[in-house]
């Protein structure tokens, strides 16, 4: 169970697991991304008197998918389930899912929000239901598995099946089941169990309106991951959008001021290129924080301000290279727009490498 700031949920969830599974024959591993509310400490307190409870507290690592993979690989149990600790997933389904795997009826048992008999009335989020439905429709095309809910975060499978291909999983984003279904080459028998999806009890939601983007993360990794690092591909996609912003700002600036200072066209261009680069840099920071680094997202006014400043500082050399190279090309007689694009390309690799490390605290 991946957790983040869910201290009040831990004790009640252990009680619900015991009610569903009985007093023995199971263990629960809480994989906590160094929650500030003491979630890991709460789980450790329980584990002192209950050997069925284990804790992995991750320092400097975040992300639901990677937490799920780490937790599944940390158990010696022959069968493993992934579920949320926030009480949206009903533990009462676990015995039925376990029986289906034991009997050979399926390789993967999935708690589905959309199967016949399922319900999301307790969730009361029609907006998120529509987004999830669209993402599921796309996911079915990618995995080739006819499921009502391939984006589910509640599933069970044999641990050896997961460990065999764990090194091929991307571990990026939230949708670990989609990652597994799209990665494992062996045909899998999958059975869905209708889930009455409940409202979150306590803590912070790990998901937001980027659920469809999480699907795109999976596409990137499967199609480009072996050639280009997935985050770099995403960073580059946002960078391409930033190019459009950059060129639009530059064009507007030259239109407004180029005619007034015809004798100083290069100087006007340099100013316009600098302003356009700063606007595009801010645009890229906002989108990368929300999407590319969603699992490392900076939140709150002060962290965002510091992040923007770090992003600006780490990109400053790239910015100077961008502006300088473009200005040199213009002086050599190149057209302004090809020169601007060349400057953008030269600065992009630097921006990615250092911003990944110093803004969002990771390599690649």
Q: What is the DSSP pairing of strand 79-82 with strand 155-158?
A: antiparallel
Residue 297: pLDDT band by 50, 70, 90 thresholds? confident
* Residue 245: predicted pLDDT: 94
**Which residues belong to CATH 3.90.550.10 in the chain?**
2-224
| Neighbour tally for 291: CB within 10 Å | 19
pLDDT digits (tens, 9 = 90+) for 159-174: 999 999 998 887 765 5
pLDDT reading at 128 higher than 70 = no
**DSSP result, 328-341:** HHHHTT--HHHHHH
**DSSP result, 304-334:** HHHHHHHHHHHTHHHHHHHHHHHHHHHHTT-
Beta bridge mates, 79: 158
C-alpha atoms less than 13 angstroms from C-alpha of 183 in its C-beta half-sphere: 22
Backbone phi and psi for residue 192, each to the nearest 5 degrees, phi listed first: -100, 145
Q: What is the pTM of this model?
A: 0.70
Name the residue with higher pLDDT: 147 or 279.
279
* Range 2-224: architecture per CATH: Alpha-Beta Complex (3.90)
* Residue 142: predicted pLDDT: 59
pLDDT digits (tens, 9 = 90+) for 65-87: 889 999 999 999 999 999 999 99
Residue 254: pLDDT band by 50, 70, 90 thresholds? confident
Average pLDDT, the chain: 82
Q: At what angle do helices 336-358 and 301-314 cross, to 10 degrees?
A: 120
Q: What is the DSSP pairing of strand 53-57 with strand 190-194?
A: unpaired
pLDDT reading at 44 higher than 90 = yes
Greatest mean pLDDT among 127-141, 248-262, 273-287 lies in 273-287
């Amino acid at each position: 169970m991946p957790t983040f700031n869910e201290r009040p949920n831990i004790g009640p969830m252990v009680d619900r697991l015991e009610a569903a599974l009985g007093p023995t024959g199971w263990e629960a591993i809480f994989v906590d991304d160094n929650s500030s509310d003491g979630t890991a400490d709460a789980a450790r307190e329980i584990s002192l008197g209950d050997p069925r409870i284990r804790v992995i507290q991750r320092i400097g690592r975040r992300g639901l998918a990677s937490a799920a993979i780490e937790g599944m690989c940390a158990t010696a149990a022959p069968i493993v389930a992934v579920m949320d600790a926030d009480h949206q997933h009903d533990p009462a389904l676990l015995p039925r899912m376990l029986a289906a795997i034991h009997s050979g009826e399926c390789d993967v048992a999935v708690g589905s929000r959309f199967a016949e008999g399922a319900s999301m009335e307790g969730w009361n989020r029609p907006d998120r239901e529509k987004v999830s439905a669209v993402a599921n429709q796309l996911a079915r095309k990618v995995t080739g598995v006819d499921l009502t809910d391939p984006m589910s975060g509640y599933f069970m499978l044999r641990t050896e099946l997961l460990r065999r291909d764990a090194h091929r999983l991307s571990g990026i984003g939230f949708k670990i089941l989609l990652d597994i279904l799209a990665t494992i080459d062996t045909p899998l028998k999958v059975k869905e169990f209708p889930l009455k999806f409940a409202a979150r009890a306590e803590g912070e939601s790990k998901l937001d309106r980027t659920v469809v983007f999480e699907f795109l993360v999976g596409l990137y990794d499967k199609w480009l991951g072996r050639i280009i690092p997935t985050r770099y591909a995403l960073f580059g996609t946002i960078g391409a959008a930033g190019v459009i912003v950059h060129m639009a700002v530059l064009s507007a600036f030259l239109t407004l001021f180029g005619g007034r200072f015809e004798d100083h066209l290069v100087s006007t261009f340099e100013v316009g290129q600098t302003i356009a680069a700063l606007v595009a840099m801010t645009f890229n920071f906002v989108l990368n924080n929300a999407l590319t680094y969603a699992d490392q997202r900076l939140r709150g006014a002060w962290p965002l301000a510091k992040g923007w400043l770090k992003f600006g500082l780490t990109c400053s050399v790239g910015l100077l290279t961008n502006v300088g190279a473009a200005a040199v090309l213009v002086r050599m007689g190149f057209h302004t727009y090809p020169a601007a694009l060349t400057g953008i390309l030269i600065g992009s690799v630097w921006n990615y490498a250092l911003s990944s490390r110093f803004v969002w605290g990771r390599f690649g």
